[in-house]
Copies of this chain bind each other. A is one copy, B any other.
Amino acid sequence: MPKTATRAGARHQINFDLNTWLDARSAATNTALDRFLPSEKTKPATIHKAMRYSIFAGGKRMRPALTLAAAEACGGTEADALPLACAVECIHTYSLIHDDLPAMDNDDFRRGKPTNHKVFGEGIAVLAGDALLTQAFEITSLAKGWPRYSHRDLVLEVAKASGSLQLIAGQVADLEGEGQKLSVAELRYIHERKTSALLCCAARLGGMSANCTPAQLQALTDFGYHVGLAFQVIDDILDVTQTSEQLGKTAGKDIAAQKATYPSIVGLEKSRKIAQQLTAKAFAALKPFKGRAAALEALAHYLLTRDK
């Protein structure tokens, strides 16, 4: 991660120390998650150990960072945004635990550590995912509501992004697409749901926690959507260009699983170009914030230039 983020293809440099910003937000997220989740000693200990194993497995906290950065861009406070940032991270972690199961992507390693079911067994891994999904809604309802964004709105936001038309639809289409020749449109359908939906939700929740204007919410929606698509295209690229050691997870999985990816459909160079175009659209979405969205810009830049 560069110490000073440079906006790809832009005319000027962003002077923003993303490392320092991310470290502080990640620490705050970890402290809050530790507070929201039952301790490892809480009965039954197994399930809480399993939940915490995956929650504290070294995730980069990109989704909470998006929520917190969006809140900042809308003039909100970290305290108001943190519960929603944690709820999104619980959803993200649950989806990883379930996606890694033998009946789905059958992954033995995640972030360089054995996956949840390799440590706790499949039964507990299913339940740990279930528990984190449920916990996400408990945490969401503990967040602060506003007249413009009630608890009903917040819960609906999380439920819709995570439900059978979005996050789960993405995983289903991904499973069903294995070994199939997909078009770019079909691949985008998967990416929109598997990745963009939750990134979009993360950004929107940050805005909602700050009682943002409808125009700001729309800007965050566009931003999250395009960052999400770019993020997934880059994930596809890294899967074929990096080693397992560099990634901290099994590389070349997409090819092994015969999954359609951007590189396999349009080639590496075109994939890189698409990622850059999507990022440019994400930057464009931030215009209404008129320079108050430095953290969001730096995050988008990081997501485009990351190497793991």
Contacts and interface: CB of A to CB of B under 8 A. Distances in A.
Interface of A: 38, 42-44, 46-48, 51, 94, 98, 101, 103-104, 121-127, 129-131, 133-135, 137-138, 140-142, 145, 150-152, 155-156, 158-160, 162-165, 168-169, 171-173, 175-176
A177 to B, nearest CB: 10
A187 to B, nearest CB: 14
Contact of A152 (B134, B135, B151): B151
Contact of A135 (B124, B134, B163): B163
Copies in the complex: 2
Return the 3 tightest CB-CB contacts between A and B, nearest first: A103-B122, A138-B159, A131-B164
Nearest to A123: B103
Contact of A164 (B51, B151, B155): B51
A48 B173 CA distance: 12
A133 B53 CA distance: 22
A242 to B, nearest CB: 26
A48 B155 contact: no
Contacts of A156: 138, 141-142
A244 to B, nearest CB: 23
Nearest to A48: B164
A47 B60 CA distance: 30
A150 B155 CA distance: 12
A103 B130 contact: no
